[in-house]
């Protein structure tokens, strides 16, 4: 049982940290199944060598926001992967392009990143 008495402040901190860690570990987007779900979702819409504008359009329909205006050889797309009271998650897909920036050369689905208090 967790003691919340004022005179037990030094013993309370490890217990609170343990409870907070357990809660954050259970947050959506932090598990391997959530990462596999994201990978399947992207794989169902994109393929290598597809037209870059089509790939960006499909990711946009999935709720991603893509930075395809720069001249960089990669396009980064992000989406709010869900949030709770004390955490927020971000889905990210990186598209490497061919030299002409007209086709997708490689698709990298990054692990879902979550941050909280």
How confident is the model at residue 102, as a pLDDT? 93
The model carries a pTM of 0.71
The tokens of 93 are what?
Answer: 């897909």
How confident is the model at residue 92, as a pLDDT? 96
How confident is the model at residue 73, as a pLDDT? 86
How confident is the model at residue 18, as a pLDDT? 44
At 94, phi and psi to the nearest 5?
-110, 125
At 34, phi and psi to the nearest 5?
-65, -40
- Residue 51 has what DSSP assignment? B
Query: Residues of the chain whose pLDDT is less than 50?
Result: 8, 18-20, 22, 24-26
Q: Give the separation between CA 75 and CA 80, rounded to whole angstroms.
A: 17
Q: In this structure, how many other beta carbons lie within 10 angstroms of the beta carbon of residue 1?
A: 4
How confident is the model at residue 58, as a pLDDT? 97
The tokens of 86 are what?
Answer: 């004390």
Q: Are the C-beta atoms of 116 and 25 separated by less than 8 Å?
A: no
> Environment class of residue 76 by beta-carbon count within 10 Å: exposed (0-12), middle (13-18) or buried (19+)?
middle
Q: What residue ranges do the domains of the chain occupy?
A: 6-116
Q: In this structure, how many other beta carbons lie within 10 angstroms of the beta carbon of residue 8?
A: 12
């Amino acid at each position: 049982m967790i003691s919340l008495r004022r005179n037990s402040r030094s013993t309370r901190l490890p217990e609170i940290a343990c409870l907070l860690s357990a809660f954050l570990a259970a947050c959506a987007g932090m598990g391997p199944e959530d990462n596999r779900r994201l990978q399947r979702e992207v794989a169902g819409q994109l393929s290598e060598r597809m037209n870059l504008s089509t790939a960006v359009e499909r990711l946009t329909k999935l709720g991603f926001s893509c930075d395809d205006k720069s001249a960089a050889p990669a396009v980064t797309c992000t989406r709010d992967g869900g949030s709770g009271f004390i955490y927020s998650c971000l889905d990210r897909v990186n598209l490497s392009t061919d030299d002409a920036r007209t086709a997708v050369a490689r698709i990298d689905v990054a692990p879902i990143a979550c941050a909280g208090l």
